[in-house]
Structure 1
Amino acid sequence: MNARHAVWIALLLLPAAAPYAQIDVDEVQVAEARQAFIDRVSAEHGFDRAELTTLLDGATINSRVLELISRPAERVVPWYEYRGIFLNDGRIEAGVQFWKDNAETLEAMAERHGVEPAILVATIGIESLFGTRMGAIPVLDALSTLAFAYPPRSAFFSGELESFLLLSREEGADVLQASGSYAGAMGAGQFIPSSFRAYAVDGDGDGRRDLWGDWDDILASVANYYAVHRWRTAEPVAADASRPSAWSGPEPGGGLELNETVGSLKGLGYEFAADLPEDSPARVFAMERDEDTFEYWVGFSNFYVITRYNRSSKYALAVHQLSEAIRSAYEASVESGQ
């Protein structure tokens, strides 16, 4: 795996000089969890027990990984700050250039999977700054840390570590060479191992699924992820909404499921533009405009699909807004012949 390693985008979401607490690790708990994992995985998948023990004994329990997983940016950064990280001139200009450099592939993948090029470009732009920031933490260390030393999600990350070992065997890759995010996400599209195994595709037919350096594979895989999660071609993602100043209806709650319809939201008094049937699923999201006020957005089916990639309404709205900004700038650039 020939990755271009750099600091993963999530690290940029935290203040550069932010201190972090040293998290105590229960070494006995780690050893017991590691041994139970070795016993299960070697029995279920035929890994050599001695080799697996040596491999996992050599993995580092990384306290920085534990600190980062405890406060992901989607939870701790308000929308008006989160948006500013991704919606800026530099990222938009880089997106336009990326589109130009990969126009043929983007069009081919859009036609094959029914996902608009702008969405693919924006997703790659947010996940890895168009492949320039794909993570510098050894995946084996990140997943071992979270599987064995982070009880709140040990079951989930044990599954991801298992998937990573299986993926490495299936792809003929060296597990010690793969780097990624603090959560074990890899490549330009930042796929966790289970998603890599389930949704990554060989876009150019060369017999490999290279999500680090092969843009045919990368873009095909991101498009396939969205398509499998029921992306609706040419339908809107979201619309900004307003409501009467003397609002007496319910306030938007938490969660991501589409619990209303276009018609029901209009019936409550929300005003927004959407060329969709009245019974189309929808949900209102309140986003921090600043420290004191909110802005309101209605998310539709494609908004929900984006949250399957990253389970955050902030992330989905950032993908939507960045895609619109890049699309507009790209079309203007093409029209002007630049």
Structure 2
Amino acid sequence: MRLFRDLCTYSAVAVLALGLGACSQTPQKTERDDGVSTVKPKQPIAKQHGKKGSNETPQSVSYGGRGVGNYSAAALSGDFAGNPQLIAFIENLAASNGFDRNYLYGVFSQVRNRDDVARLWAQTSNDPGSPKGWFAYRDRFVNAANVQRGVEFWRQYGAHLKRAEQTYGVSAEYIVGIMGVETRWGRILGKHRVIDALVTSAITNQRRSNFFFKELKNYMLMTRSERMDPLAPKGSFAGAMGYGQFMPSSFHAFAVDFDGDGIRDLWNPVDAIGSIANYFAKHGWQRGGVVAVPARVGSDAYASMPDGFKVKYTASSLAARGIVPQYGNGSGTAYLLALSTVPGGYKEPWIGYNNFYTITRYNHSNYYAMAVHLLSQGIRGRVGK
């Protein structure tokens, strides 16, 4: 989670390529590879490489400073041979975090420069609703097929969702909804090796280079602590990972071992359920709280008012302007949501509350949070109470 605030300005790419969960505070989940169906591993990523305390560890795997895998080299070769930024990163990681230097050179000599990642970062469109507005965005995620898939996921993992709801106070439908928007419940996990995406981004995206080198460091620490081969995991072009599309920094802040096997594995749907719930809980989700409701408006004046998750109102101040919820009695902080159906056209009025804002911590987009809300409600309606 996320869930990478500045990266949310790339949400047009992210929606056509959406993956992530989560933009989150450290999060970072939003950029993904839409339309690329990846084959789900037969078992979670971490378990493919052996788990802590088990007898499953392959003989070629070693831990500690060398991490996982038989990688070793005296110098950096491959696509980034001689690159001073990557060499400096490797030397610093070895000196400050106890990695074996030759192990790191061996790993990074296998990393590939992904031209497609560099091209994606070069795109400049930054309007998540462009060009067709809210309805087009909504329909991409909230449709009968996705509702049915969400119902199927819930039925398969209902016991874990119930436990997450009890543990973290986060409504199960929103955990399911996040997974649906981010990865279609594991159907679109991303086609890029995470390490390739992070290194390519750090080297080619100069504006965000420091950010991606920090994420790369967090990624290497994750693969060591969770016993993963650093060349194995795949994710989005931004390096977002697993069912909830967490960036590596969000992994360290919010991922949990929800199935109790000693490994935090974001490609494991059970761990992902717990991790998304934990992410929301730590970002202020209110147990049983309202997310958003359609608004009744007395005039079209709302359409010119400042709106969105960055603008705070109160329920009473909105009511004073003739903007009230169509049902329920909201209180406290409220957010006016005027969702543009088409550029320059009618704006659909909603009122969001605290839990709506919490969803925007996953991805800083009004459209995203509303799509999650509507998909979640559609799934809940089919599953029943």
Q: 2:363 aligns with which of 289, 292, 310?
A: 310
1:245-256 alignment, distance < 5 Å: 245-247=299-301, 250-253=304-307, 256=309
Provide the C-alpha distance between the structure 1 equivalents of 2:115 and 2:127, rounded to a whole number of angstroms: 18
SS in 2 for 1:74: coil
Residue 196 in structure 1 maps to residue 248 in structure 2: no
Q: Cα 1:240–1:249, aligned 2, differ >3 Å: closer, same or farther?
A: closer
1:42 CA drift (Å)? 2.2
Q: Given residue 223 of structure 1, which amino acid in structure 2 is its aligned partner? A: A
Query: What residue in structure 2 maps to residue 11 of structure 1?
Result: 33
Size of the aligned set, in residue pairs, is 310
Query: What is the alpha-carbon root mean square deviation over aligned residues?
Result: 2.6
Q: 1:36 aligns with which of 78, 85, 88?
A: 88
Higher mean C-alpha deviation, range 104-113 or range 77-86:
77-86
SS in 1 for 2:361: helix
Q: 1:184 aligns with which of 215, 239, 257?
A: 239
Is the Cα contact below 8 Å between 1:42 and 1:49 reproduced in 2? yes
Q: Given residue 88 of structure 2, which amino acid in structure 1 is its aligned partner? A: A
Is the Cα contact below 8 Å between 1:147 and 1:156 reproduced in 2? yes
Higher mean C-alpha deviation, range 283-292 or range 89-98:
283-292
Unaligned runs of 5+ in 2: 1-16, 20-31, 37-78
Provide the C-alpha distance between the structure 1 equivalents of 2:240 and 2:173, rounded to a whole number of angstroms: 22
Provide the C-alpha distance between the structure 2 equivalents of 1:330 and 1:276, rounded to a whole number of angstroms: 26
Query: What residue in structure 2 maps to residue 271 of structure 1?
Result: 324
Query: What residue in structure 2 maps to residue 298 of structure 1?
Result: 351
Q: Given residue 153 of structure 1, which amino acid in structure 2 is its aligned partner? A: R
Unaligned runs of 5+ in 1: 1-6, 15-26
Q: Cα 1:36–1:264, aligned 2, differ >3 Å: closer, same or farther?
A: farther
Q: Cα 1:249–1:180, aligned 2, differ >3 Å: closer, same or farther?
A: closer
Query: What residue in structure 2 maps to residue 261 of structure 1?
Result: 314
Is the Cα contact below 8 Å between 2:294 and 2:350 reproduced in 1? yes
Q: TM-score, normalised by structure 1?
A: 0.83
Q: 2:209 aligns with which of 154, 158, 180?
A: 154
> Structure 1 vs Structure 2: percent identity of aligned residues?
36
1:93 CA drift (Å)? 0.8
Is the Cα contact below 8 Å between 1:61 and 1:145 reproduced in 2? yes
1:274 CA drift (Å)? 6.2
Provide the C-alpha distance between the structure 2 equivalents of 1:182 and 1:73, rounded to a whole number of angstroms: 19
Q: TM-score, normalised by structure 2?
A: 0.74
1:218 CA drift (Å)? 1.7
Deviation per residue, 1:295-325 (Å, 9 max, x gap): 1222211111111112221111111000111
Is the Cα contact below 8 Å between 2:302 and 2:338 reproduced in 1? no
Q: Cα 1:65–1:286, aligned 2, differ >3 Å: closer, same or farther?
A: farther
Q: Given residue 268 of structure 1, which amino acid in structure 2 is its aligned partner? A: R
Query: What residue in structure 2 maps to residue 4 of structure 1?
Result: none
Provide the C-alpha distance between the structure 2 equivalents of 1:76 and 1:63, rounded to a whole number of angstroms: 25
Query: What residue in structure 2 maps to residue 127 of structure 1?
Result: 182
1:99-178 alignment, distance < 5 Å: 99-178=154-233
Query: What residue in structure 1 maps to residue 100 of structure 2?
Result: 48
1:88-99 alignment, distance < 5 Å: 88-99=143-154
Higher mean C-alpha deviation, range 242-251 or range 221-230:
242-251
Q: Cα 1:73–1:251, aligned 2, differ >3 Å: closer, same or farther?
A: closer
SS in 2 for 1:247: helix
1:120 CA drift (Å)? 1.1
Provide the C-alpha distance between the structure 1 equivalents of 2:330 and 2:367, rounded to a whole number of angstroms: 25
Is the Cα contact below 8 Å between 1:258 and 1:304 reproduced in 2? no
**Following TM superposition, where does structure 1 have runs of at least 4 consecutive aligned residues deviating by more than 6 angstroms?**
none
- Highest RCO, 1 vs 2 (Cα 8 Å, sep ≥ 6): 2
Is the Cα contact below 8 Å between 2:240 and 2:246 reproduced in 1? yes
Provide the C-alpha distance between the structure 1 equivalents of 2:355 and 2:238, rounded to a whole number of angstroms: 25
